[in-house]
Amino acid sequence: MSSEFHPPARILMGPGPCNVDPRVMLALAKPLLGHLDPDFIRIMHQVQDLLRSVFVTRNPLTIPISGTGTAGMEAAFVNVVEPGDRVLICVNGFFGERMVEIAGRCGAEVKRLEGVWGKSFEPAEVEKELKAFRPRVLALVHAETSTGVLQPLEDFPSILKKFPETLLLVDTVTSLGGHPVKVDEWGIDVCYSGTQKCLSCPPGLAPITFSPRAVEKIKNRSRKVQSFYLDMDTLGRYWGSEITYHHTAPVSMNYALLEALRIIQEEGLDRRFERHRRNHLALAAGIEAMGLKMFVEPQSRLWSLNTIAIPEGIDDAKLRKSLLEEYNLEIGGGLGPLKGKIWRVGLMGYNSNERNVLFFLTVLEQALLAQGYEVPRGVGASAARNFYSKNKPG
């Protein structure tokens, strides 16, 4: 007989998943119910209500898809894009590239608005492309996990009023629950996320919400959605008043999501956002005090996913391996053209706290010193402590 598997208790400060509250882990151990059990149906409706609060929307079609964030991305595109539809995609990172791939598989006429990896898009340049291309869908990433860039969306409602035929599709996988996401106020028609980041739940579900305009597009399609599993017209009936069987929902994962959302509700969105902002700023202060550089300019930085430029002469893989093996700490490396050039350090949900910031700065210093990089001892953690002392929680 093989021995029981005991995974190490890592400190997960990479791009996701992150560690979760013990309350969420306990929820996973609760007794199973059938996926059509009346008590589970009540849980489903509670999850929907709490998701609407986090998305800040009244959209009836707001559900967690049984799948990870990429399933959310795919569900977003396959439902509102038909062959021949024009789709404008803002690409300034790895997940914008993935959007292009999925939209192309839907048969869309895709136009890429090329951006710089590490910078956000200016609203004016997006508006210019909208005028020229007149797309059926405009797609962009709110929080680009590959670069640590936050794309401001506050100016988009006024822009999109000029293009009433265009649906706005937004990826909030790394922002939902850690940054403000205002689906209704910002005029977002399709918005998806993942449970394993700022929502502080294990990976396995993809929250998604569709506006009434998007639902109308789905209902008036000229052909069926090519994916049966992700077809919102049929899946929505399972989560709606009909409760029509669609698939066997992951019951325990919905328990976990419910508890994670309850924790968010208890903390309050504004306090949660401020916590993420404060810890991000403390980490950035520590990094800069050590003589290192943040990859993204201050005005475009994510609070939940911090990207740090790797100093010249430092072996990226060796350093991350030492953090994992010596300190049980996981951080992420770069993707695509940023491989070997940046570290990605998550401060998401349950993991966004002073303890993790100070621990990371301390062990990063040790790992850098081990490779001969000169860092004044204790300067990073000291700078972060100084920031915390001057910026008490509200």
Q: For residues 152 and 175, what is the distance between their CA atoms, to the nearest angstrom?
A: 11
Q: β-strand 149-150 against 332-333: which pairing, if any?
A: unpaired
- The domain made up of 269-390 has a fold known as Aspartate Aminotransferase, domain 1 (3.90.1150)
Per cent of the chain over pLDDT 70 is: 100
Check if the beta carbon of residue 43 is closer than 8 Å to that of residue 255: yes
- Tell me the chain's radius of gyration from C-alpha atoms: 21
Q: For residues 294 and 288, what is the distance between their CA atoms, to the nearest angstrom?
A: 7
Summarize the confidence of residues 203-222 as an average pLDDT: 97
- The domain made up of 23-266 has a fold known as Aspartate Aminotransferase; domain 2 (3.40.640)
Nearest alpha carbon to residue 192 among 179, 205, 178: 205
Has residue 237 got a pLDDT over 90? no
Rounded to 5, what percent of the chain is helix, strand, coil?
Answer: 45, 15, 40
Has residue 68 got a pLDDT over 90? yes
Please report the pLDDT score of residue 1 as a whole number: 60
Tell me, rounded to whole angstroms, the distance of Cα 305 from its chain centroid: 9
Check if the beta carbon of residue 148 is closer than 8 Å to that of residue 302: yes
Angle at which helices 354-370 and 269-289 pack, to 10 degrees?
20
Q: What is the pLDDT of residues 133-176, one digit of tens each?
A: 999 999 999 999 999 999 999 999 999 999 999 999 999 999 99
Q: What is the mean pLDDT of the chain?
A: 96
Nearest alpha carbon to residue 381 among 282, 280, 274: 282
Work out the pLDDT band at 118, boundaries 50, 70, 90: very high
Domain locations in the chain as residue ranges: 23-266, 269-390
Work out the pLDDT band at 394, boundaries 50, 70, 90: confident
Q: Which residues pair with 345 in a beta bridge?
A: 306
Q: What is the pLDDT of residues 257-274, one digit of tens each?
A: 999 999 999 999 999 999
Phi, psi of 392, deg, nearest 5: -70, 150
Q: β-strand 149-150 against 342-346: which pairing, if any?
A: unpaired
Summarize the confidence of residues 274-287 as an average pLDDT: 98
Summarize the confidence of residues 323-343 as an average pLDDT: 97
Check if the beta carbon of residue 192 is closer than 8 Å to that of residue 142: no
